[in-house]
Structure 1
């Protein structure tokens, strides 16, 4: 009996010795997943704050040339956050020497990335050592230097800043064998262009004074996109705006047109918008690329004129809101920008923008 007890105890010891490493790996993996979440949230907060801060100063990019830009941004450069770093890096001289043409995106990139690093560092830990330590504790081996901002864009679409942060998280075990996890995060913000907007700087004031619902459909679509804060090129597939993981499609329908008095036509058109947005899984236009893995939320903004909506149209709109919700899309109906002066009573072709 004693020998049997010894054998049983020995068997339990062996089994425990075999299971213990796997249990430890499971615990470490769980902790690592928590670190992945925290790393994502911390970096997203930092790049979003940096993006918002830079967007305020980017108005000068539109309204001035480089020498005026340096003067206009002097307050920004003199702030406690960036003055020393910019001076040490010689960026002020670099801007004066290479940034003569304020519409040259490639030259602007040379300024965007260094300033992004400085502001992100400040939002991560106030100093390089603190930021590096915080990131290394989250399994980003090179700290702040391990985050690549080179794919960021300044005014690629003419009106927004897009910060792209790419980095790799190393596994806490077998890091030499396992490739690690590559993560890409983005933050976008339209530049602040004063109360009159960017278009006032471009000489479009006469067109802006005209009611958008009196424009032809393509011009109306462009103008409403702009007014709703679109930050993607007009020919970008399906969506008009992307910010912080949200892909937004901006559409407009003139409910006063006879074609949309027929609720079947109205229902079919909105369902078509919903279907296209549901199927959208990333796209590219020129230098602007959005990958499906970067999209966490989808939103459809439908702009309609400030006119009386019939009960039948209202029921159709509410029905479409429910349909969109079932497909994971937030449909928002926005009544704005007046109404058309002269309503066409003919049959519309059903093309909305």
Structure 2
């Protein structure tokens, strides 16, 4: 009887020590987070992450209804002062935004440059056999098929990354549209989430869209090569994303853009995806145990969790990014004290 009682007490203690964390935001990182949090849950703590888009994730953190959020673009400077506490931003993943399309009869990986992509999304280039596209793709029989532009209808970090890239390669795009998680699109069909854009592209002959590499590969959607700053046309790959990260300096804030980075092998629409959370963890009804559980989970995401990246077509964080993330996580406080 004594052994049974002791075992029962141990089980109660284990259950009491397990934590449940909630997060929401980026759909870009959702496939990776699903795997990472599944593996992390084997340690006892659970993480419930909802793929609602970077914009909604930022709002959820601002409203303090989640422990953390994920976003592919940092909180805009104009908005950060409205948050009820200091927000920390750590690199959590790296990946590629690809130019996907559905052109019946065309099996080749088409080549795109910044001007062509800007003109398509500005509504200026309307047909797949446009002379500028044909010039980039000699020998490819492009049809006289109307281009159906697909874009996100919700606040999206993927939109932020793509429009950031377009703003760097097209002065016209920068002036007329700009870069943000939600913009006034000059043309096209809006769809919610990466799944929505993927669905439009896959079901619509002539469609073009910007989606994550992992979604394109898993849904068997064609995608193109994009010309980088050196003039090379680069296919989106893990190596191309790693090359982008190798050509930027990661500041102490942990925030930097990978779009249009230098390097001969760099894929130019690469990005970090970030986890965001409050530095001071004592707010509302939060306990020190909750804060410790969040700190432990974030450390796992930025370090051991990176082991699952490549199998899901993400690039593991480089050592410099992991170091920045650990330093920022270590600065978390509870009631003004580090823990």
Query: Does TM, scored on the shorter chain, surpass 0.5?
Result: no
Taking structure 2 as the reference length, what is the TM-score of the superposition? 0.26
Identify the structure with bigger relative contact order (alpha carbons < 8 Å, sequence gap 6+). 2
Taking structure 1 as the reference length, what is the TM-score of the superposition? 0.26
